[in-house]
Structure 1
């Protein structure tokens, strides 16, 4: 059995795989105010469609739909099968709370109750 496929058949299979990935995947990478769909993601990187997404570099934001997941510093890794693959140099989780510059005690009050002023 041979594993050789004609170029037009291989190109059609690659295009179908990318189209299926775009429909299923909600992941997107945002840079300079523009969002681009992510075809697939792994532990230390992600891939985008090279025909749809310009060359990315530097600091990007990773989203799952409308949820901001991570802020990442990326570097281009490789290009294969119509995908541009990027590796994470640094990845920071996004927090919904403001960072504290002091230690919060476990027994600290959570609210301030005003005295009854009779009003």
Structure 2
């Protein structure tokens, strides 16, 4: 049996799903000075609302709250309802310390002593 829902109900359900997805995520992207909330993030792409950044392209930074997660090169690929899908051309995880093969100076200080 095939059931039919009126277009208004289908649109209302889609809007409610999008609103719920936005509420439960802290993920944001920064492009220039703009911070844009993400709807969904996967290993190969992310989605944002269509009206937030329809012309977004290039290098973006992805944050979880204040923590910098990734630096990515993106391009818009398709529309999925009220969202735009952006695929990664490059997605690099950020690190807070140098790479393990980085040469450290043996005489480098281990810590700093504050003046009191």
2:97 matches 1:97: yes
Bigger Rg, structure 1 or 2: 1
Q: Which moved more, 1:51-60 or 1:32-41?
A: 51-60
Gaps of 5+ in 2: 111-116
Shift of 1:103: 3.1
Q: Distance in 1 between matches of 2:107 and 2:27?
A: 39
Q: Distance in 2 between matches of 1:76 and 1:91?
A: 15
Q: Deviations over 1:50-101 (max 9, x none)?
A: 0233321000000001111000000111102111001000011112135699
The aligned counterpart of 1:11 is 11
The aligned counterpart of 2:109 is 111
RMSD value, Cα: 2.3
Please report the TM-score for the alignment, with normalisation by the length of structure 1.
Answer: 0.80
2:75 matches 1:59: no
Q: Distance in 1 between matches of 2:102 and 2:25?
A: 40
Q: Distance in 1 between matches of 2:40 and 2:102?
A: 39
Gaps of 5+ in 1: 113-119
Say how many residue pairs are matched: 110
The aligned counterpart of 1:46 is 46
The aligned counterpart of 2:36 is 36
